[in-house]
């Protein structure tokens, strides 16, 4: 990330912190750890980067979840062999 032709180390560090925070949240760290981290960061510059980062993550998650839902809602065309054998042995009700 560059700002006025120079590397902006702060934004790089912040992006890395976003990655770290993402890992902390998904590994169920304590609430106090997360809140301390937010309080110690510079909020104005952090907000834009964090929004972009988490929106991109959420977009990926959203795509996965809709694909899974579509698969679940599709009816099965044929019974599995085992189920078919059970039905023929017991007789259909």
- Confidence at residue 16, expressed as pLDDT on a 0 to 100 scale: 75
Largest CA distance in the chain: 78
Domain ranges of the chain: 2-90
Q: Which residues pair with 3 in a beta bridge?
A: 6
pLDDT in tens, the chain (93 residues): 444 555 566 667 777 777 777 666 665 555 555 566 666 665 556 666 667 666 665 565 555 555 555 666 666 656 566 665 666 555 555
- Confidence at residue 1, expressed as pLDDT on a 0 to 100 scale: 46
Contacts of 22 (CB under 8 A, 6+ apart): 53, 54, 57
């Amino acid at each position: 990330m560059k700002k006025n032709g120079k590397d902006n180390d702060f934004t790089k560090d912040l992006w890395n912190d976003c990655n770290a925070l993402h890992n902390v949240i998904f590994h169920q760290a304590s609430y106090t750890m997360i809140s301390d981290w937010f309080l110690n960061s510079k909020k104005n510059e952090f907000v834009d980067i964090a929004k972009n980062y988490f929106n991109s993550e959420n977009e990926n998650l959203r795509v996965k979840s809709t694909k899974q839902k579509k698969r679940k809602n599709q009816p099965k065309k044929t019974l599995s062999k085992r189920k078919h054998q059970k039905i023929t042995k017991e007789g259909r009700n």
